[in-house]
């Protein structure tokens, strides 16, 4: 009798397959949206800062803006590679030896996602720093 009660409690604690698939679906949607948002921010900031350069009487720390452009470009490329790695990850479920392949894909995917986030953060901080330093130099 006691064993039966323990098994029933264990069954109640485990989520059913529908709940599990819903959780996985939410996680995948969240992951995709994070990657796309970072990719969008990096692309927009890069395009905006290149297209609408401020009119400054003197420019200080121009290297900072150029470093930001490099970081944002790295973030964009890493974001695209991250999306491609996820595609490869899901395709690998069709292969017999997909588990081994997924381990290497996961390592690349994590590396490029970290690169995407770091590039975006460095780019945003660089543009902000450049803006603050050159604010007094803005031409009327």
- Residue 130 domain-assigned (yes or no): yes
- Residue 83 domain-assigned (yes or no): yes
- Residue 63 domain-assigned (yes or no): yes
Residue 70 and residue 37 in contact, taking contact as beta carbons nearer than 8 Å: no
Number of domains in the chain: 1
- Residue 64 domain-assigned (yes or no): yes
In which region does residue 61 sit, left (phi positive, over 0), alpha (psi from -120 to 50) or beta (all else)?
left
Look at residue 38 in the predicted model and tell me its pLDDT: 94
Is 34's pLDDT higher than 80? Answer: yes
Confidence band for 8, pLDDT divided at 50, 70 and 90: low
* Calpha distance 47→73 (Å, rounded): 10
pLDDT tens, residue by residue, 67-119: 999 999 999 999 999 999 998 888 888 877 778 888 899 999 999 999 999 99
Look at residue 4 in the predicted model and tell me its pLDDT: 64
pLDDT tens, residue by residue, 118-136: 999 999 999 999 988 888 8
Structural domain boundaries, residue 48: 2-135
Task: Go through the chain and tell me how many residues it has.
Answer: 140
- Residue 52 domain-assigned (yes or no): yes
- Residue 17 domain-assigned (yes or no): yes
* Calpha distance 115→77 (Å, rounded): 9
């Amino acid at each position: 009798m006691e064993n039966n009660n323990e098994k029933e409690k264990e069954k109640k604690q485990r989520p059913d397959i529908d709940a599990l698939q819903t959780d996985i679906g939410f996680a995948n949607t969240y992951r995709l949206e994070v990657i796309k948002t970072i990719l969008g921010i990096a692309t927009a900031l890069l395009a905006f800062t290149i297209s609408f350069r401020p009119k400054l009487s003197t420019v200080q720390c121009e290297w900072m803006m150029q470093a930001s452009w490099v970081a944002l470009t790295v973030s964009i490329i890493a974001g695209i590679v991250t999306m491609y790695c996820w595609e490869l990850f899901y395709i690998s479920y069709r292969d017999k030896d997909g588990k081994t392949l997924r381990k290497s894909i996961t390592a690349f995917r994590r590396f490029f996602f970290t690169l995407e986030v770091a590039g975006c953060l460095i780019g945003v901080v660089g543009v902000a720093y450049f803006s603050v330093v050159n604010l007094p130099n803005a031409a009327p």
